[in-house]
């Protein structure tokens, strides 16, 4: 009896951890969907341009020094204090530069009120960096469930408040308020419950080590930013905020859904790879575990998006967003193909060879930007498919680097990647056939048919996951810190 109770308790913790970590992606997706219901593509495009620059600042809080806290073997007190001042100082400096550039950016993109959006979002980023530091400190101590409880409360507050704001105001500033509702309650909760207070201490030796360790990761983040948002920048400069809005909506619907799994898995991977490195254990084991699990979940989600996206957009959003449909298909496949990009950073960080992360992202970015410049004259759809193809190619490039430079046996990881892709493709084909038969013979109204189709897809996912677990493609161990 006690064994059954322990199993249920462990399963409950696993489900809560997944929900807590993925609630941020769920809330972001919900806000994007509400924006597409109440705002024109041009308005959503202005907000998307603003968020694009804020993301660059946010990554400074959640990579580099964040990873160093998770992997370093230094004394906790000196390490945490030094990394606090480094993190907050770096983010504050970047925020100040961005705030100064807010209105020039509005002029460059001819996108009012971009300056107001960028300025307001930049002002709150230093506080967000404190939250990132507190989260890293909790993860280092192994207090993973407390970290997830705080994240859950933080994201739930933001979701409820953001939905109310958008529903009542129908304004771009409701999206800005949603971002504030994510940062301020989170900082208060981590401050009260996290119990971590930075000491008035700055160890120069640790700072040098942390900076050397983090330099490659920050350079990598800048390159990832360019690869991810070069299309938005080009569309904003050459076309209009409306083109950015359409592209970003299609991107957000697809990646927002796949990120519900990918973002939590990224957090789990960082924690597990860091712990594996501190134990001097073989990194091939977590690499294979995460390769199969991430690919299966994101690819199955992508399959559902491809099958049902057309019905969802026609039912719930303004017709002006229909041109983003093919972008949604391509981005769904891109999210499913990106396991290599996701795992390169935690793996090389655990090895202490972060320069290779920057090398990986440098090559990936050059290829991605070249593809964007070549494909952009052909329109949104060609641009999206080119990016999906590039991401798939960089996954194989990632496995090559991990084998040759990381000296890791990547064969088990590649087998699981391939097996997961095959299972997800079969799952998608069955869901498509069921949806087509349902549409042809049910005679139900569109809303009821969509709900029935999504329910069927969810039920069908259970035996697929069971089969994947038996084949050792999918592993629940990936969800534990």
The Cα 127–Cα 416 span in angstroms is 40
Residue 421 confidence (pLDDT): 93
| Cα torsion 362, 415, 387, 255: sign | negative
Q: Which distant-in-sequence residues (6+ apart) come within 8 Å of 25 by Cβ?
A: 256, 259, 260, 263, 264
Which residue stretches of 110-143 are H helix? Answer: 114-123, 125-141
Counted residue by residue, the chain has a size of 481
Q: pLDDT digits over 76-104, tens only?
A: 888 899 999 999 999 999 999 999 999 99
Tokens of 142: 């192994």
Task: Tell whether pTM > 0.75.
Answer: no
Q: pLDDT digits over 465-476, tens only?
A: 999 999 999 988
Q: Inter-axis angle of helices 172-193 and 2-38, to 10 degrees? A: 150
The Cα 319–Cα 167 span in angstroms is 19
Q: Which residue has the tokens 């013979």?
A: 441
Instruction: Tell me if residue 338 falls in helix, strand or coil.
Output: coil
Half-sphere exposure of 128 (CA within 13 A, CB side): 23
The Cα 102–Cα 80 span in angstroms is 32
Q: Which distant-in-sequence residues (6+ apart) come within 8 Å of 161 by Cβ?
A: 177, 178, 181
Name the residue among 388, 378, 374 with its Cα closest to residue 327.
388
- Cβ-contact 362, 226 below 8 angstroms: no
Max avg pLDDT among 68-82, 206-220, 413-427: 413-427
Confidence band for 255, pLDDT divided at 50, 70 and 90: confident
Residue 58 confidence (pLDDT): 85
Q: Which residue has the tokens 């968020």?
A: 51
- Cβ-contact 297, 450 below 8 angstroms: no
Judged by phi (left if over 0) then psi (alpha if -120 to 50, else beta), residue 443 lies in left
Tokens of 232: 């938005």
Residue 13 confidence (pLDDT): 64
Q: pLDDT digits over 110-133, tens only?
A: 888 999 999 999 999 999 999 999
Residue 16 has pLDDT above 60, yes or no: yes
What is the arithmetic mean of pLDDT over 343-366? 84
Residue 260 confidence (pLDDT): 72
Q: Which distant-in-sequence residues (6+ apart) come within 8 Å of 291 by Cβ?
A: 339, 343, 413, 414, 416, 417, 420
Max avg pLDDT among 19-23, 68-72, 140-144, 413-417: 413-417
Q: What does pLDDT average to over the chain?
A: 84
Q: pLDDT digits over 148-196, tens only?
A: 888 889 889 999 999 999 998 889 999 999 999 989 998 899 888 877 7
| Cα torsion 122, 134, 220, 242: sign | negative
Judged by phi (left if over 0) then psi (alpha if -120 to 50, else beta), residue 110 lies in left
- Cβ-contact 296, 468 below 8 angstroms: yes
Q: Bigger pLDDT: 376 or 421?
A: 421
């Amino acid at each position: 009896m006690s064994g059954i109770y322990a199993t249920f308790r462990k399963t409950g913790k696993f489900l809560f951890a997944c929900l807590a970590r993925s609630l941020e992606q769920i809330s972001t997706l919900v806000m994007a969907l509400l924006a597409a219901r109440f705002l024109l593509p041009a308005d959503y495009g202005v907000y998307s341009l603003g968020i694009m620059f804020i993301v660059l600042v946010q990554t400074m809080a959640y990579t580099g020094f964040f990873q160093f806290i998770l992997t370093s073997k230094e004394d906790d007190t000196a390490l945490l204090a030094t990394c606090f001042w480094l993190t907050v100082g770096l983010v504050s400096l970047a925020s100040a530069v961005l705030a100064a550039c807010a209105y020039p950016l509005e002029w460059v993109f001819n996108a009012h009120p971009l300056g107001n959006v960028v300025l307001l979002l930049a002002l709150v980023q230093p506080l967000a960096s404190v939250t990132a530091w507190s989260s890293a400190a909790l993860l280092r101590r192994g207090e993973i469930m407390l970290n997830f409880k705080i994240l859950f409360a933080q994201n739930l507050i933001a979701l409820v408040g953001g939905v109310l704001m958008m529903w009542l105001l129908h304004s771009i500033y409701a999206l800005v308020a949603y971002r504030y509702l994510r940062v301020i309650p989170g900082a208060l909760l981590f401050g009260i419950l996290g119990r971590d207070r930075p000491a008035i201490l700055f160890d120069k030796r640790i700072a040098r080590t942390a900076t050397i360790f983090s330099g490659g990761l920050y350079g990598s983040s800048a390159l990832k930013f360019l690869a991810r948002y070069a299309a938005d920048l080009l569309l904003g400069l050459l076309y209009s905020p409306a083109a950015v809005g359409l592209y970003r909506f299609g991107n957000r619907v697809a990646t927002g859904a796949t990120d519900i799994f990918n973002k939590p898995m990224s957090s789990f991977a960082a924690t597990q790879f860091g712990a594996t490195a501190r134990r001097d254990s073989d990194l091939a084991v977590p690499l294979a575990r995460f390769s199969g699990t991430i690919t299966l979940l994101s690819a199955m989600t992508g399959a559902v998006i491809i099958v049902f996206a057309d019905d969802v957009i026609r039912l719930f959003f303004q017709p002006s967003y229909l041109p983003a449909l093919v972008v949604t298909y391509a981005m769904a496949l891109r999210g499913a193909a990106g396991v290599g990009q996701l795992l390169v950073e935690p793996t090389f960080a655990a090895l202490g060879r972060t320069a290779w992360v920057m090398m990986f992202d440098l090559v990936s970015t050059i290829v991605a930007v070249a593809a964007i410049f070549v494909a952009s004259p052909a329109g949104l759809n060609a641009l999206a498919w080119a990016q999906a193809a590039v991401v798939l190619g960089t996954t194989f490039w990632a496995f090559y680097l991990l084998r040759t430079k990381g000296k890791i046996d990547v064969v088990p990881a590649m087998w699981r990647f391939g097996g997961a892709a095959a299972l997800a493709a079969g799952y998608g084909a069955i869901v498509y056939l069921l949806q087509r038969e349902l549409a042809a013979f049910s005679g139900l109204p569109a809303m009821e048919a969509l709900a029935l189709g999504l329910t069927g897809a969810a039920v069908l996912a259970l035996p697929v996951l069971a089969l994947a677990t038996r084949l050792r493609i999918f592993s629940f161990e990936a969800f534990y810190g």
